Amino acid sequence: MLFNYQTKAVSDTRAAFLNHRRVILTMPTGSGKTYTAATMVKAAAEKGRSLLWVAHRNELLDQARASLANVGAPPEICTSIQKWNRSGGRIKRPDFIVIDEAHLSIAETYKKLIEAYPKAYVLGLTATPYRLDAQGLGEIYDTIVEGPATQHLIDIGRLAPPIYRVPSQLNFAELRKAGRDFDPRQMAAMWDKAKVFAGVVRNFTQMCPEAKAIAFSSSVEQSQKLVNEFAAAGYIAAHVDAETPQKERARLLDLFRKGQIQILCNVALFTEGYDLPDIQCVILNRATLSRALYMQMVGRGGRSAPGKTGFWVLDFGGNVLRHGRWESPVEFNLDGTPPSVSEGVAPMKVCKSCFIINPIQAKVCTACGWVFPRHTGNAEETELVSLDDRPSVLEFVEICNSATAQMRPEAAAHRLAAVAQNPAEYRKALQQLATMRGYSAGWVWRTQKNIPWKGSAKIIND
C-alpha cells in the first residue's frame, strides 16, 4: 500500500511518460523510492511489458528484489550494470527500464545500455539528481518529477529530524582540491594534526554513547584510524570499504543490523541505497564539496523507526555550514547547474556549550538553553568554536538534564565521565545529577564504579 505522497509520485511520473520517454523521479532518501517504482513495474508487468531493473551495487539490487517481491512483481528482472555490459546486452529487449541511482547515468556503461534500447521507456531513480562534475542529466533524461520535500516527510513522521553538532574548528580553507573534491590525503593529515579522531569518539560519548552509528571517512586510512579510536574507548566498531571481500562485508553488515556492531565506519560504500532505519547517528568524519555526497551521507540516518524521534549528525567537516541543512528545500534541474537551496543556505552559528547549530538570530540555544553572547561581528565569527569555551562540568550537568530529560541515567553518566577534568569532578557531577533526579547516594557509588572517569582531552589540540 502506498502513502499519499507515493501515490502522487506515481501519478506524476505516469503523466510525465505521456510526453517523454526518459524520466527521472527524485524523492528524498528514506521516502520509499524503490517501493514506489516497484508498484509501477508491477503495473507494467501486468500489461505484459518486458522489464529491466539495473543498479551498480549488490546492496541496491537486493533491496530492489525485496521491494519487487513485496508488491508481486518479478524480482528476476534485476541485474547489475556491470553484468549487463559483460553480457553484451544479450537479453530480451525491454520495454521499460528502471535505473537506480540515476545520477550515475552519465557513465559510459549506462549510456551503452540506453542507446541499445532507444524505444524503451526509462525511469531513473535518485535522491540527488545532480553531480559534482556539473554534467547535466539532461543528456540522458527529458524531464524530472519531484517527489515530496524532506521537511514535509519529517512533518508527517515518515522521516526523522536531524540534530546537527559541529564541534570542529579546522580551517577548511587550507584544504586543496584533488579532482573535484577535497584531497583525501591532505584531509587525513589535517585530521591527524588536530587529533580529530579522538575528538570524534569524545563527542560521540558526550552526546549519544548508546546510538547505532554509521561513520563516513574520505580514505581507508582515516576510517581504520577511527575504528581504532572507538575500540580503544570500549566501543564495538568495524570498517568496510569497496575492497572488503563480499562475504566479509555481508557478515559485518549482518552483525551491524543485529546490533552486535555498534559503529560501522566506511569509505564511499553506504552513501547510496543502504536501508537501515534504526541508525541513530551519522558521523561525517570528512569534509566534502559535493552537496550530493553530503545529502546521501546524512540521509542514512533519516529513515523513521519505532521509538526513533530523531538522529544525530556529528559533522567534523563543517559540511552543514557549507551546504545547508539536509532537510532544506532544493531546486533541481537537468542542465548541470549546481542545485540551489530554495531560500539559500541560511546563516547559522554553533552553540559553544553543546555545539548544536542554531539560526544566526537565535539568542538562546534551541537545544541546551545556553545564552549566546552579544557580538558585533559577522556570522563567521561564531561558526566554529573550541571546546575550551564550554561551561564547567557542573553547568554541563544542568544542560544535560534540561536538554535530554528522557536520557537514561547510564547515558548521562557516560557524558559526564567524558567531560569531567578529573575523578573528583566527575563524582561531584554525579552527585549533582543524583540530587536533580532524586537518585540515592548508592547510585553515585555504583555508577562511578561501573562507568569510570574516562579522562579529559580537548577535541582540538594544535
Name beta bridge partners: 264. 214, 238
Burial call 39-60: b when 16+ CB within 10 Å, e when fewer: bbbbebbeeeebbbbbbbbebb
* Sequence-ordered strand ranges (E) for 294-402: 311-315, 330-331, 340-341, 348-350, 357-359
Walk me through the domains of the chain, giving residue ranges and CATH numbers.
4-149 (3.40.50.300), 162-326 (3.40.50.300), 391-450 (no CATH)
Q: Alpha-carbon distance 98 to 291, whole Å?
A: 24
Q: Which residue has the cell 528522557?
A: 406
Confidence (pLDDT) at 273 = 58
Confidence (pLDDT) at 91 = 77
Cα dist from 330 to 31, 292, 339, 457, whole Å: 16, 11, 7, 39
Bridging pattern class, strands 357-359 and 348-350: antiparallel
Cα dist from 89 to 110, 115, 116, whole Å: 12, 11, 8
How many CA atoms are closer than 13 Å to the CA of 275, on its beta-carbon side? 18
User: Residue 459 burial (CB < 10 Å; 0-12/13-18/19+)?
Assistant: buried
Cβ distance 272 to 102 under 8 Å?
A: no
Neighbours of 185 (CB within 10 A): 14
Q: Alpha-carbon distance 429 to 412, whole Å?
A: 10
Cα dist from 414 to 207, 272, 353, 418, whole Å: 9, 32, 17, 6
C-alpha grid cell, residue 349: 552559528
Cβ distance 125 to 99 under 8 Å?
A: yes
Confidence (pLDDT) at 398 = 64
Confidence (pLDDT) at 344 = 52
DSSP string for 86-97: HHTT-SPPPSEE
CA angle 257, 243, 238 (to 5 degrees): 35
Burial call 120-141: b when 16+ CB within 10 Å, e when fewer: bbbbbbbbbbbbbeebbbeebb
Confidence (pLDDT) at 255 = 95
Of the candidates 244, 276, 272, the residue with the CA atom closest to the CA atom of residue 257: 276
Of the candidates 182, 27, 24, 38, the residue with the CA atom closest to the CA atom of residue 106: 24
Cα dist from 71 to 2, 32, 65, whole Å: 10, 13, 10
Cβ distance 26 to 146 under 8 Å?
A: yes
C-alpha grid cell, residue 177: 582540491
Question: Any idea what DSSP says for residue 362?
Answer: -
Confidence (pLDDT) at 341 = 56
> Tens-of-pLDDT digits for all 462 residues of the chain?
899 999 999 999 999 999 999 999 999 988 999 999 999 999 999 999 999 999 998 889 999 999 999 999 999 999 999 999 988 767 789 999 999 999 999 999 999 999 999 999 999 999 989 877 778 899 999 999 999 999 999 999 999 999 999 887 688 888 999 988 999 989 988 888 878 888 899 889 988 999 999 999 999 999 999 999 999 999 999 999 989 998 998 899 999 999 999 999 999 777 665 678 899 999 999 999 988 889 989 999 999 999 898 999 999 999 998 888 999 888 888 887 766 554 555 678 887 777 788 888 888 776 666 677 765 444 333 333 333 344 566 666 665 565 443 456 776 777 677 667 778 888 888 888 888 888 888 899 888 888 887 554 332 222
Cβ distance 301 to 214 under 8 Å?
A: yes
Q: Where are the alpha helices (DSSP H) in 2-32?
A: 4-17
Q: State the amino acid at position 400 in one-letter form.
A: C
